[in-house]
Structure 1
Amino acid sequence: MNATLRRAAAVLAASAAAVSLAACGSAEQAGGNGGSDGKNGDRKDGPLSIGLLLPEDQTARYEKFDRPLIEGKIEQLCPDCTVTYVNAKQDASVQQQQMNSMITKQVDVIILDAVDAKSIAGSVQAADDAGIPVVAYDRLAEGPIDAYTSFDNEEVGRVQGTALLEEIGEAGGDGQIVMMNGSPTDPNAAMFKKGALSVLEGEVEIGKSYDTTEWKPSEANKNMNGAIAALGEENIVGVYSANDGMAGGIITALKEADFAELPPVTGQDAEIAGVQRIVAGEQFMSVYKPYRPEAEAAAEMAIALARGEEPEAESTVDSATTEGVPATLITPVALTVDNLEETVFKDGLYTLEEVCTPEYRTACEEAGLM
């Protein structure tokens, strides 16, 4: 086909598309929708189809808290809405396929917690091309996302770093700490690390620092064994662990080494195993992130976007690809044995019976919880 014919064909295709779209718009108007135009070209006042994509099931929070809280809020706000849920089980390529499936099903909106924030960008673009808004949940995915809700992730790192410095005290001047950071494919991990370093650098020597693939406790355990061998147990005065799962692997390595007393270890997520280690004195602290406001913000943003409305947001954030994304950021809380009652128990995250099992009953009594 020569250039003239190609141009003619392009004009005819564009004209046909315009006629088709106009006819579609006329049909919708004739149907009495009465709504304003949204991203998908039509405000939907009735039931919605919502795709929910979570990244993995190794961390307890996603199945125990995030999913039921998001689904519960959606049911409260929109009883006739349906949620299609999938979990990528830490496989970025699987999540891309799941996104493509949601687009094929023509869901009205997607809530996405990305396995790999960078590699999912093409799928986010495909959703955008299909007129499907995307709410980035917990992790700031790349691509043209429409809203974002998470915690102030640099503040999480600062909370962890500050607690660790205060606990090691003067010992920090004579020893070193080990940093066990999160997965390099998770943009939150970089923000946790940045926040922690803003507090730790210049105050304590960082003997070893690791990025831990897929947040695996087994890899954190292996890395900690390597750090102990390289630095010597007598020189390690504390461990920055970016989350509770890795803290478990780290503490196993510390307990198997020749430490007269375990050095303080940080964490994040207030997983029940982490809370129990805090009660037992094996893990110094975690970061309590109240999941309910984060989950409910995601549900509210998703429904607003699907209905062609602007999502409520307290601020904006910039990703590597998109500027000015409407965002709601939740403040994290340092969790220690001293404030368990006013945080995880008061908010109903766990019951006393769930934490103070027979194995931890004595520790709970000594901590004044029973």
Structure 2
Amino acid sequence: MKKLLLGLLATAVIAASPALAADKKLKIGATTYGLNAEFMQIWSAALKQHPAVKSGMVDLTVFDGRYDALVQQEQFNTMITQKFDAIIFVPMDVEAGAAAVQAAHDAGIPVVGSNARVNSDLLTSYVGSNDVEAGELEAKSVLDKMGCKGNVVILEGPIGQSGQIQRLEGNQKALKACPDVKVLEMQTANWSRAEAQTLMENWLTAHPGQINGVIGQNDEMALGAIEAIKAANLKVSDFAIAGVDGVTDAINAVKRGEMASILQDANAQAQGALDIAIKAVDKDYQPQSPIWKQYPDMKWGEGTDKTYLVPWTPVTKDNADKLLESRK
């Protein structure tokens, strides 16, 4: 797979040249794994609201990867050929994305990872959150509500994406502490609410009265499970349900007592990644996003650290309205 992807990008690498002069507007691109769901829409909107973009210092282009690793390779090809100064990468596939990073590196273009990881040592930096921790936190909330007894189902993200891999690791870590809990089903719903609803409908039919908890590796899938439960005329309150991300519908579901969620701060991940990307091109640059003051434990330093982790924020009935207000 990697050889194929490298071959697709070879001509772009040959044609590339060093970054633009420092006195010109910086041309920075961001390729996301997909823009269909709210989380990456928030992430992309946050990039466009970065002070350096709004002031005209940065000419920003956001690409929709359409949930296809090969599409993202082609987008890298375009950015290399058009001599972008830096690239922000939210990869669809933890392995396949390494070929694109290699090509950009060979072309002298720094790549900053954000939100999802790629197996490459060539990233300038990574700005995201600890997905193993998220998987453990969400699973623990489900298991605590179940009293560490009963049966659960797990709705996974796209197989091969870092969020799926690492959140599953966290899910399993929490499950080890509850040996009396059985996992009845575990399958990908590809971060999709609709796919998760279909899976949950099938599982409710296959295991009538047996499912006590639902671990959704993101909020969209947890919300899909809730829709399936309602459609089956069952009580959502009879299930322990959790997701990850803190999307708008999930925050409202937390307010109604239907599920648990933890906020993954898309704004901080996106704007932090752009600050790092600019720093990789302009060594004198100082961060302009307010997120560094918002999260003082995530220290800027010189803007050259390999990893910057944005903390998770549990969504509660007490902070739900404040979180919703921030979306307006």
Shift of 1:42: 8.1
TM-score by length of 2: 0.81
Q: Kindly name which structure, 1 or 2, has the bigger radius of gyration based on alpha carbons.
A: 1
- 1:257 aligns to what? 232
How far apart, CA to CA, are the structure 2 residues paired with 1:309 and 1:108? Answer: 16
Shift of 1:310: 10
- 2:294 aligns to what? none
2:145 to 143, 150, 167: 167
- 1:269 aligns to what? 245
Question: Given that residues 287 and 335 in structure 1 are in contact (C-alpha distance below 8 angstroms), is that contact kept between their aligned partners in structure 2?
Answer: yes
Q: Which secondary structure does the structure 1 equivalent of 2:49 belong to?
A: helix
Q: Is 2:200 aligned against 1:221?
A: no
Question: Given that residues 278 and 285 in structure 2 are in contact (C-alpha distance below 8 angstroms), is that contact kept between their aligned partners in structure 1?
Answer: no
Shift of 1:68: 2.2
State the one-letter code of the partner of 1:83: L
Question: Given that residues 53 and 59 in structure 2 are in contact (C-alpha distance below 8 angstroms), is that contact kept between their aligned partners in structure 1?
Answer: no
Q: Is 2:172 aligned against 1:197?
A: yes
Q: Which secondary structure does the structure 2 equivalent of 1:164 belong to?
A: helix
Q: Which secondary structure does the structure 2 equivalent of 1:215 belong to?
A: coil
RMSD: 2.7
- 2:116 aligns to what? 139
How far apart, CA to CA, are the structure 2 residues paired with 1:184 and 1:309? Answer: 40
Once the two structures are superposed, residues 75-121 of structure 1 have per-residue CA deviations (whole angstroms, 9 ceiling, x without a partner) of 26963321122111212221111110000000000011112222122
Shift of 1:308: 4.8
Q: Is 2:281 aligned against 1:335?
A: no
Question: Given that residues 147 and 311 in structure 1 are in contact (C-alpha distance below 8 angstroms), is that contact kept between their aligned partners in structure 2?
Answer: no
Moved runs in structure 1, 4+ residues, more than 6 A? 309-313
Q: Could you list the runs of 5+ residues in structure 1 that have no partner in the other structure?
A: 1-23, 25-39, 316-323, 352-370
Q: Is 2:259 aligned against 1:280?
A: no
- 1:154 aligns to what? 132
Query: Kindly tell me: are residues 103 and 308 of structure 1, through their superposed partners in 2, closer, same or farther at Cα, counting changes over 3 Å?
Result: farther
State the one-letter code of the partner of 1:335: V
TM-score by length of 1: 0.72
Shift of 1:301: 0.5
Q: Is 2:327 aligned against 1:350?
A: yes
Query: Kindly tell me: are residues 44 and 77 of structure 1, through their superposed partners in 2, closer, same or farther at Cα, counting changes over 3 Å?
Result: farther
Q: Which moved more, 1:198-207 or 1:47-56?
A: 198-207
Question: Given that residues 260 and 315 in structure 2 are in contact (C-alpha distance below 8 angstroms), is that contact kept between their aligned partners in structure 1?
Answer: yes
Q: Which secondary structure does the structure 2 equivalent of 1:140 belong to?
A: coil
Question: Given that residues 35 and 64 in structure 2 are in contact (C-alpha distance below 8 angstroms), is that contact kept between their aligned partners in structure 1?
Answer: yes
State the one-letter code of the partner of 2:164: A
- 1:244 aligns to what? 219
How far apart, CA to CA, are the structure 1 residues paired with 2:53 and 2:255? Answer: 35
How far apart, CA to CA, are the structure 1 residues paired with 2:254 and 2:198? Answer: 22
- 1:362 aligns to what? none
Q: Is 2:36 aligned against 1:58?
A: yes
Once the two structures are superposed, residues 289-334 of structure 1 have per-residue CA deviations (whole angstroms, 9 ceiling, x without a partner) of 223322221011000111257999859xxxxxxxx97010011122
How far apart, CA to CA, are the structure 2 residues paired with 1:162 and 1:202? Answer: 9
Identity of aligned residues (%): 24
Shift of 1:41: 7.7
- 1:181 aligns to what? 156
- 1:117 aligns to what? 94
Tell me the matched-pair count.
296
Q: Is 2:60 aligned against 1:80?
A: no
Shift of 1:188: 1.5
Question: Given that residues 145 and 325 in structure 1 are in contact (C-alpha distance below 8 angstroms), is that contact kept between their aligned partners in structure 2?
Answer: no
Once the two structures are superposed, residues 177-214 of structure 1 have per-residue CA deviations (whole angstroms, 9 ceiling, x without a partner) of 11112111211111111112211224141332423153
Considering fraction of residues, name the structure with more helix: 1
- 1:98 aligns to what? 75
Question: Given that residues 207 and 231 in structure 1 are in contact (C-alpha distance below 8 angstroms), is that contact kept between their aligned partners in structure 2?
Answer: no
Q: Could you list the runs of 5+ residues in structure 2 that have no partner in the other structure?
A: 1-16, 288-297
Q: Which moved more, 1:51-60 or 1:201-210?
A: 201-210
Query: Kindly tell me: are residues 218 and 68 of structure 1, through their superposed partners in 2, closer, same or farther at Cα, counting changes over 3 Å?
Result: closer
How far apart, CA to CA, are the structure 1 residues paired with 2:152 and 2:320? Answer: 26
